[in-house]
A and B are shown apart, each in its own frame.
Chain A
Amino acid sequence: NAGVTQTPKFQVLKTGQSMTLQCAQDMNHNSMYWYRQDPGMGLRLIYYSASEGTTDKGEVPNGYNVSRLNKREFSLRLESAAPSQTSVYFCASNEIRAAAYEQYFGPGTRLTVT
């Protein structure tokens, strides 16, 4: 049982390049999330998917797109990377109908845009 996995762990992009961050969970959770973490600002929600086939914007969606490929996988795409998108990206999942509600996090992806 791997929990939440993310690839890659590290990535360096040049301004204007595109890339997709991959996330998968094996806990059969309905809901999945993408966050970014910047120094001094905690985690901020980019997009989430409450269930397979649905996606919604979070607090900071501009410059990103997401795809809920199936129940297990939720990808985050940067179409034209900008230096302001330099950050650590976390994927998470949970089951909001469960009593616990807590989110389980992946190990993160450190992205640098030069």
Chain B
Amino acid sequence: AQTVTQSQPEMSVQEAETVTLSCTYDTSENNYYLFWYKQPPSRQMILVIRQEAYKQQNATENRFSVNFQKAAKSFSLKISDSQLGDTAMYFCAFMKSNNNDMRFGAGTRLTVKP
């Protein structure tokens, strides 16, 4: 079974600074997808960014980017120019290609301080 580990239960960052959230995963698969979801206090799960394992180029979405290290099974999320609205729980998730079973990490609670 795939496991996803987020080793930082809580983090904080000053507004406008950069923060990196860590995620590692364990799998024997070669084709899979990785995701970062954001869960603000409203509880709604919002997709932040996704990465296809077959792509070597790291995904970016505006202020959000990932550092995908396939050999190391690492998938970290970098948030640049942090904003107060980035305060949320962040979940890393793994899904095998053509499979419905998505596995989530335990989450990292990020607080952006003014």
Chain A residues within 8 Å of B, Cβ to Cβ: 31, 33, 40-45, 48, 50, 56, 58-59, 88, 90, 92, 96, 100-105, 107-108
Q: List 25 A-B contacts (CB under 8 A).
A: A31-B100, A33-B100, A33-B102, A40-B106, A41-B106, A42-B4, A42-B6, A42-B105, A43-B104, A44-B104, A45-B101, A48-B100, A59-B101, A59-B103, A88-B43, A90-B45, A96-B100, A100-B50, A101-B50, A101-B95, A102-B33, A102-B50, A104-B47, A107-B43, A108-B44
Given A40-B106, A44-B104, A101-B95, verify A108-B47 contact (CB < 8 Å).
no
Residues of B within 8 A of A104 (CB): 47
With an 8 A cutoff between CB atoms, is B68 at the interface?
no
Residues of B within 8 A of A56 (CB): 100
Q: Count of chain B residues with Cβ under 8 Å from any Cβ of A?
A: 23
Pairwise interchain contact B91-A105, C-beta atoms closer than 8 A: no
Given A41-B106, A42-B91, A42-B107, verify A58-B45 contact (CB < 8 Å).
no
Chain B residues within 8 Å of A, Cβ to Cβ: 4, 6, 9, 33, 35, 42-45, 47, 50, 91, 95, 98-107
